[in-house]
Chain A
Amino acid sequence: MRSDLLRFADWSSPVRPVARELSSALPDGDEGRPPLLFVPGLGHGPWAFTEHWLGHAARRGFPAHAVGLRERGDLRAYAHDVVQTAASLPRQAVLIGHGAGALVVSRALARYPARAGVLVAPVLDGWAGLGAALRANPLGTLPAIVGGALRLSRRQLFSPELPVEQADAYRGRLVPAGARAQWQLLAHRAAPRPVGSPPVLVVGSPDDRVVPRAALDRTAARFGAAPLLFPGMGHDLMLDAGWAEPIDAILDWLGKELPPTTP
């Protein structure tokens, strides 16, 4: 795998700036923990993390931020938004991406030396994801094939334990993703190797109907580890019933991998 020294695309056509939404939850004191930057997937926004995970991470001493990706961007622009936001934080950040946000994070890791990377229910294996989506929810998936909006069902996103009205409220906040972004989910090339060799954790659910178990295993194998699994949960681990377990596991892992630095 070659280094990424000659960046003609960036040199000739830099990504245009946009106003990026950033939600933050900061701990009371500074314990030297690295800032966490959460990246939502298609249809989601920073709200998906502010609901639970951001505040929880802050209460455990980690400065937590969630970035909103621009509208109608492509994969390069999304990765640019993540890298720009990470570079604007006071300290070297941990990048945490969910769903298609994990794909964006995998590209950002090749452009920014993150302290660590966490890929949550990562949609990195596009064609397998399409197959799983068609099996689980054909009516919601077929329009995406012809350029319409991909719609995920309640059963794809959440476990039965989450109350129906809560699940429907969350689904109501999803916005349709652009066709271009959806196609890039399928047709993208593999991301280059992360710079600086950060530790990478893959987290998911074996019952995820968007990211099949085999895809989780393949993604984790690329980073030389086994995935951390939370049976019974749906695709949206950060919103589902039992949301505390995955974020606690992630923070425990970060605590082991990255001892706090004295500021």
Chain B
Amino acid sequence: MHDTGEVADRRAAVCVIGAGASGLAAIKNLREHGFAVDCYERETSVGGAWNWRHHRSPVYAGTRLVTSRARTEFPDFPMPDTWPDYPDHTRLLSYLERYCEHFGLAEHIWFGTEVVSVVPAGDGSWDVTTQSPGGGASHTQRYAAVVVANGHNWAPYLPEFPGADSYRGRLIHAAMCKDPAQLRGRRVLIVGGGNTGCDLAVAGAQHAAEVWHSTRRGHWYGPRYLAGRPVDQVQARLLRRRVPSPLRRWLYRRALRLVVGDLTRHGVAPPPHRPDLGHPVRNGQLAEYLHDGRIVAVPDIARFDAVGVTLADGRHIEPDLVVAATGYRPQFEFLAPELLDTDAEGRPDLHLHAFARQHPTLAVVGLLEPDAGLLPLAHWQSVAVARWLRLYATDRARAAQVQRRESTRAPRGWSGRRAGPAPRDWFAVESTRYLRALEDLLTRLEPA
């Protein structure tokens, strides 16, 4: 259903979907490579997930980075060096707003505009249909390429819990829990061992009457500082000295044992053997509350009943509030699944988690769960996308050559082994290895 049957042709322009951190980087880098860009953002301001005013944002009052400033900032636009090692979400949002202002990106963004459909229009071009989030008239424009940067932390993933229908307490996703006051005085069960789950468990320890923390598997719960320095600076020092990976992991485990201790005596599941794949969990307070008994670690949920939960070890607890910090699932409602080779579970198959395999002019930026900050990777991803699109537009033969070479590259080289079954594990990367793969590609995409 179109307001008008006419399709406006934007010719060589690129459409960017989403004005979060990844979308802003995409706009800037595409512009820098000579492309005209239209960006569509359903909200009325930039920042995406980091803008807590947005109703789909997963950010809560206490959200702060678990990667330090130097590993979080865009490589060509540093955060002020006077900022704390681990800036909080308000600073990060103001940083993104300044990035947008500094590079004049707002003039390329259509705010309050939702993309409802992206369909191939022949010869690599795309018809993009937009409308206001509340409905109303829709418009279709044709673009030479589409870069999807709608983020992957806004569609809450709630696993199926047996018996949840009969539960008379409240079961909510962590996305609905933005204020610690919601936990005040309650008997809370937090489900999920990621940073959000740990933050909520800590908040519960401070506000709730009783806190259980349920995890399906063990995690390495690291502190944010080691020897007075941010942990990822210490790790980067080892990388810089080319300490081999097994020794680096061994040192990290030894350091964690020294700093955090053995948490299994508090009922925490034993952590996996390899500690450094996927987004790090860094919460120095969790261990303290476990030691204090203010947080009780429990295993996975076996099933719900009317008044509580039976755990995998047979124990029965009776929380009146269950918060599932079980992450988010990427969604691309405007794209047919086959365009990104998405499987039945909802997992896209993208080269370098960015390039659509069947469609050279379709790319996704920011769909990663790195062990360091996402912004640098989104930056370099979008540089690679911009260079690829430029090469594709100007030298089709060489582009085909690069594509053939890249298609023979094994995913293991840049994605590592699969870390786990949750949606966020689909995109887990070791950032150094991933950056090396991108560097390789960028070198090959250089102008001849």
Contacts and interface: CB of A to CB of B under 8 A. Distances in A.
B380 to A, nearest CB: 6
B345 interface: no
Contact of A80 (B81, B380, B383): B81
B170 interface: no
Nearest to B74: A87
A2 B439 CA distance: 8
Interface in B228-263: 232-234, 236-237, 239-240
Contact of A87 (B69, B77, B240, B383): B77
B240 A261 contact: no
Contacts of B32: 113, 195-196
A261 B71 CA distance: 32
A8 B236 contact: yes
Given A14-B233, A80-B81, A113-B76, A6 B104 contact: no
B235 to A, nearest CB: 8
Contacts, number: 83
Contact of A92 (B70, B103, B380, B438): B103
B233 A17 contact: no
A11 B71 contact: yes
Nearest to A262: B107
A17 B81 CA distance: 5
A10 interface: yes
Contacts of A15: 81
B237 A3 contact: no
Interface in A1-43: 2-17
Contact of B232 (A9, A11, A261): A11
B314 interface: no
B78 A84 contact: yes
A83 B383 CA distance: 20
A261 B82 CA distance: 31
A112 interface: yes
A9 B81 CA distance: 15
A111 to B, nearest CB: 6
Nearest to A110: B76
A164 interface: no
Most A-side CB within 10 Å, residue of B78, B240, B383, B436: B78
B93 to A, nearest CB: 16
Contact of B80 (A5, A16, A88, A91): A88
B75 A6 contact: no
A5 B78 contact: no
Contacts of A2: 439, 443
A2 to B, nearest CB: 6
B77 A13 contact: no
Contacts of B70: 10-11, 14
A221 to B, nearest CB: 18
B342 to A, nearest CB: 28
Interface string A103-124: 0000000011100000000000
Contact of B81 (A13, A84, A113): A84
A250 B419 CA distance: 55
B116 interface: no
Interface in A88-102: 88-92
B404 interface: no
Interface of A: 2-17, 80, 83-84, 87-92, 111-113, 195-196, 261
Given A7-B75, A195-B32, 6 more contacts: A5-B442, A14-B81, A14-B233, A87-B78, A196-B32, A196-B76
17 contacts: A2-B439, A2-B443, A3-B439, A5-B439, A6-B435, A6-B439, A8-B236, A12-B236, A13-B237, A14-B233, A17-B81, A17-B82, A83-B78, A88-B80, A92-B103, A195-B76, A196-B76
Among all A-B residue pairs, the 9 with the closest Cβ atoms: A11-B236, A8-B240, A12-B237, A17-B81, A12-B236, A14-B70, A196-B32, A5-B435, A5-B439
Interface of B: 28, 32, 69-71, 75-78, 80-82, 101-104, 232-234, 236-237, 239-240, 380, 383, 432, 435-436, 438-439, 442-443
